[in-house]
Amino acid sequence: MTDAISISNAQLRFGETAALDGVSLAIPQGTCFGIVGESGSGKTTLMRAVLGLQKLDQGEIRILGNPLVHSRAALKQRASFIQPIFQDPAASLSPRSRIRTLMNEVGTVLREPHAAMHERLRVILDRLGLPPGVIDKYPHEISGGQARRVAIARALLMKPSILIADEPTAGLDVSVQGDLLNLLQDIRRSDSITLVVISHNLAIVRLIAENAVVMRAGKVVEGGEVGSLFKSPREAYTRELLAAWPGVTQSGVSG
């Protein structure tokens, strides 16, 4: 089966700094894939490159087998199968537009009849545990957890086959984090979505992902099936990362 995302030798420099230094990885379709690493390791830059928000200096990215092209037509096509959930979802919702307006934009992009789109939206909101009235609010009028769900709802409206979640639980309290991770897992399984989770939180990746890579200074230092990766890390850096997360033992997640 074609990989959902395949990256080969991705290189990108910001001045003297190598943000991506020869990154190669393949993310199989229908799986949950984790990308972990400390701040500044290049996780978010990699996500932005995959989304087409950042051009690579060298290398190639393929989404469902198609090379990533930076054109309006390609973006339009890509939008229907890959969607991001940004690190700060409240900031990813236009502050001067009601959520209804933001959702209607999806209908316009998909050229979907208004009633049909709103029926789908109603089902998605219900599934995400959001009250229907949330669409009449402005982003600043809802909580951080609701904003994240609204961002997910908007992404799901596009009927994507790949979701990229950047630090999906950042800024949420522990109970909401658990709910959100369960929700993402449910969505992934029921809608056969490929879920890419980018996080510095190893516990989350350990909990949700099947495969993962560890990044450092723009490079993939280690990767593989999550169980074995966390159980018997080959690289010293991975061991350091694991040691820095006392909740993540080599045999699983505790606490």
Residues that bind another protein (CB under 8 A): 51, 53, 72, 75-76, 78-80, 83-84, 86-88, 91-97, 101, 105-106, 108-109, 151, 154, 158
CB atoms within 10 A of CB 97: 14
Nearest approach, Cβ of 51 to another protein (angstroms)?
A: 6
Q: Which is nearer to another protein, 67 or 247 (CB)?
A: 67
Rounded distance between C-alpha atoms, residue 139 and residue 29, angstroms: 32
Rounded distance between C-alpha atoms, residue 23 and residue 4, angstroms: 16
Rounded distance between C-alpha atoms, residue 41 and residue 175, angstroms: 28
Q: Which is nearer to another protein, 98 or 239 (CB)?
A: 98
Q: Which is nearer to another protein, 88 or 210 (CB)?
A: 88
Nearest approach, Cβ of 180 to another protein (angstroms)?
A: 18
Nearest approach, Cβ of 117 to another protein (angstroms)?
A: 13
Q: Which is nearer to another protein, 79 or 183 (CB)?
A: 79
Residue written as token pair 């190893």: 202
Nearest approach, Cβ of 105 to another protein (angstroms)?
A: 5
Q: Give the orientation angle of helix 144-157 with respect to helix 174-191, to 10 degrees.
A: 10
Q: Which is nearer to another protein, 156 or 203 (CB)?
A: 156
Nearest approach, Cβ of 95 to another protein (angstroms)?
A: 7
